[in-house]
Amino acid sequence: MIDFKRLTQHTFNYNLHTHTPYCDGRASIEAFVTEAIARGYKYLGFTPHSPIPFESSCNMAAEKVDEYLGEIARLRALYGQQLHIYAGMEIDYTGDWGPTAGYFGSVPLDYSIGSVHFIPSFSHEGEMVDIDGRYENFKVKMSEHFGGDIEAVVRMFFKQMLNMVESGGFDIVGHLDKIGYNASCYRPGIDREPWYETLVVELIDAIMDIGYVIEINTKAWETKHRFFPHERYFARLKRYGAPIVINSDAHEPALLSAGRDTARNLWLKA
Ligand SMILES: [Zn+2]
Ligand SMILES: [Zn+2]
């Protein structure tokens, strides 16, 4: 198990959340590795979206996992002197499936991120809906699957997050208030409403009680001016002494550092 607290205390030259064509990323593992070395990174973790038991073009197929682990081993042999390379996964929690699924016990990962990208449809029983993508798609799904009830969607997202945190089996909590962006596009200001903030705080409390590492996800900073969790929660996390990692969730090497310095500065000032 990686000692994330120790790692982040002695360096900022790490990134533990990246995606390659093993899921929906746009450049090879080796392209990320060489870019990371060129930028002076010392630790790089790969986190393909995990296999899930339903159709999803964004997730890694279970048949690809051995090849993925083999590629990491190959690159470790080549570049291991210059960069610590970790084989991780961003494991989807859906309720029926998640980090505690027996399947993951058989996959020799260095660490995992637990994330929620899907919630159950309100209108199509048994169907899981990706609520994480672009707003244009989210808006369509709001009427197709959720009857326009944004409050219920937000509550369902945080319920899934809470259930994931309580069931465990992973190391880092991924983008903990990710629904905040799409929900705020749908109803501006929703994420400042007291009931919403209560849901975030309850989730943070549960995470702290159990003791996970919390990710500050910087992927959307340059394009949408948003961190996950939102920077208004940084002071609370610091007060709690939360162990955090600042990850760019990069889908291409050029974005390896996107938003990370800004997040660190805000964190230091919080
Ligand atoms: Zn994610
Ligand atoms: Zn990701």
Nearest to 205 by CA among 250, 262, 165: 165
For residue 219, give the ligand nearest its CA: 2
Residues lying with their CB under 5 A of ligand 2, a single-atom ion: 90, 249
Does residue 1 surpass a pLDDT of 90?
Answer: no
Which CATH number fits the domain that encloses residue 126?
Answer: 3.20.20.140
Tens-digit pLDDT profile for residues 133-190: 999 999 999 999 999 999 999 999 999 999 999 999 999 999 999 999 999 999 999 9
**Which residues form the domain of 35?**
4-269
Cross-strand bridge partners of residue 84: 43
Q: From ligand 1's centre to the CA of 254, what distance in Å?
A: 18
Q: From ligand 1's centre to the CA of 38, what distance in Å?
A: 26
The count of structural domains within the chain is: 1
Q: How far apart are CA 20 and CA 123, in angstroms?
A: 33
For residue 247, give the ligand nearest its CA: 2
- What whole-number percentage of the chain has pLDDT above 90? 99
Contact at 8 Å (CB) between 150 and 127?
no
**Residue 20 banded pLDDT, cuts 50, 70, 90:** very high
Q: What backbone phi and psi angles, to 5 degrees, belong to 250?
A: -75, 135
Q: Is the peptide bond before 120 cis (omega within 30 degrees of 0)?
A: no
